[in-house]
Amino acid sequence: MARPRMFEEDRAIEAAMRAFWTAGYEATSTQDLCAATGLGRSSIYNTFTSKRELFEKALRRYAGERNDRLAELMDGDLPIKEKVRTVLWWAVDPDAGDPAGCLVVNSLVELAPRDPHFAELLRRDTEKRLGILRAAIETARSRGELDSGADPCALAGFVVATVTGLRVTARGGADRAALEAIAKTALGVF
């Protein structure tokens, strides 16, 4: 008879996600994951099979949560400039307790160039995010909030690239004033 799990898998994935977000995939050791989750090495491997599988679950959780949050905002009634401002300020003023940067961006830099599986997973995630933004920008353009010549694909890519740059800049240690100046400049496009 199998022993019941002595922990909640979701909590372990959340804790591992934060460990990977803070240090990256390669730099996060199994011991780091044990410390973060409160699980022993055997519990981690019995539940998640490998560090790689745990990382993938953590990455999917992170991306899914961020995309759900973005979709909810973009489906709302705010004008597009306020929606984009909110997205930019998520990068300028992240939730208290969040590690600097972005797990997706960090993984794009660390893993995508040499791991085809994660490169594809991250490519699909980026496409999803671009699609959410593009649809909101198309709607805003049709409502007259943007010039009729505005390119929704280019603007969506611009927002994603700006947020990516803000996350990298924040991880590099930039202060809030520097991040805010970048975000304000980008917001001028809208």
Each residue's pLDDT tens digit, 58-84: 999 999 999 999 999 999 999 999 999
What pLDDT does residue 8 have?
82
What percentage of residues in the chain have a pLDDT greater than 90? 89
pLDDT at 146 over 90: yes
pLDDT at 160 over 90: yes
Bigger pLDDT: 8 vs 91 = 91
pLDDT at 176 over 90: yes
Contact predicate 121/56, CB 8 Å = yes
Where residue 6 falls among pLDDT bands split at 50, 70, 90?
Answer: very low
Backbone angles phi, psi at 175, to 5 degrees: -85, 170
pLDDT at 129 over 50: yes
Distance between CA atoms of residues 60 and 121, nearest Å: 9
- The terminus-to-terminus CA distance of the chain in angstroms comes to 61
Which residues, 6+ apart, have CB-to-CB distance to 31 below 8 Å? 41
pLDDT at 16 over 80: yes
Residue 49 DSSP SS3: coil
The model's pLDDT over 131-141, given as tens digits with 9 standing for 90+, comes to: 999 999 999 99
Quote the pTM value.
0.91
The model's pLDDT over 91-100, given as tens digits with 9 standing for 90+, comes to: 999 999 999 9
Where residue 111 falls among pLDDT bands split at 50, 70, 90?
Answer: very high
Helical H segments across 24-151, by residue range? 30-37, 41-48, 51-75, 80-92, 103-110, 116-142
Contact predicate 25/105, CB 8 Å = no
What pLDDT does residue 5 have?
55
